[in-house]
Amino acid sequence: MTYIPTDEGWLYLTIILDLADRKVIGWAMSEGLKAVETSVSAWRMALGNRAIDSHLVFHSDQGIQYACTEFQNQFKDLPVTQSMSRKGNCWDNVVAESFFKSFKSELVNQTRFKTRAAARLATFEYIEGWYNRQRKHST
């Protein structure tokens, strides 16, 4: 999860990346930090974008949005094992950290967003129009 400053206040971006192709398959933007607005919403988008054909491992940091029962219940009856990084160790979630570094340097740090709506639109265009479709992804 990362923070996006706007003149109206903060927005929070939560993403779910597919490690096979490094694409963002689920994401959510919210004005608050509740799991239903962040991790749960991004997970539901990911499920809509990718079928779970076999057992998968869902890896995240230890943030409350991923550790809470509301999020963990999303895996009920699915072949999903949840994995969490070690406390305070960004290297355990390096692919997500790399995405956020690119997102911040290529968009957020280059732009002053007057409104949350402008930040939402720019984020949509970055993820869906640029990052997933045109940007080269390292493996």
Query: Which residues does residue 10 pair with via DSSP β-bridges, in sequence order?
Result: 5
Q: What is the pLDDT of residue 137?
A: 62
- From CA 79, how far away is CA 99, in angstroms rounded? 26
pTM of the model: 0.90
Conformation bin of residue 9: beta by default, left when phi > 0, alpha when psi is -120 to 50: left
pLDDT average per 10 residues of sequence, the chain (139 residues): 97 94 95 95 95 88 90 94 77 84 97 98 97 77
Rounded mean pLDDT of the chain?
92
Q: What is the pLDDT of residue 95?
A: 86
Q: What is the pLDDT of residue 70?
A: 95
- From CA 89, how far away is CA 106, in angstroms rounded? 24
Q: What is the pLDDT of residue 134?
A: 85
